Amino acid sequence: MIQKTLAKLVCNDYGFGCSFETKENEVDKVIKEFREHTFHEHHIDYQEGILMKFITRKA
């Protein structure tokens, strides 16, 4: 059986007192959702490359 890789980002892991998290099998969706959240809720515009590094460091 082949197991799908789950990508996940959690706001609280990056210094925010926030319970938002996104997890999907598609990395692009995780990055998009996390960027939208952090931009609208925390006024931070993370670049896609930075978020990709966050995801790969946790894998």
CB-based contact 30:40 (threshold 8 Å): no
Write down the pLDDT at residue 59: 63
Write down the pLDDT at residue 4: 59
CA–CA dist 41, 59 (Å, integer): 26
Note down pLDDT in tens along the chain; length 59 residues. 444 568 999 999 988 899 999 999 999 999 999 999 999 999 999 999 999 999 888 76
Write down the pLDDT at residue 26: 92
**Can you give the residue ranges of every domain in the chain?**
7-58
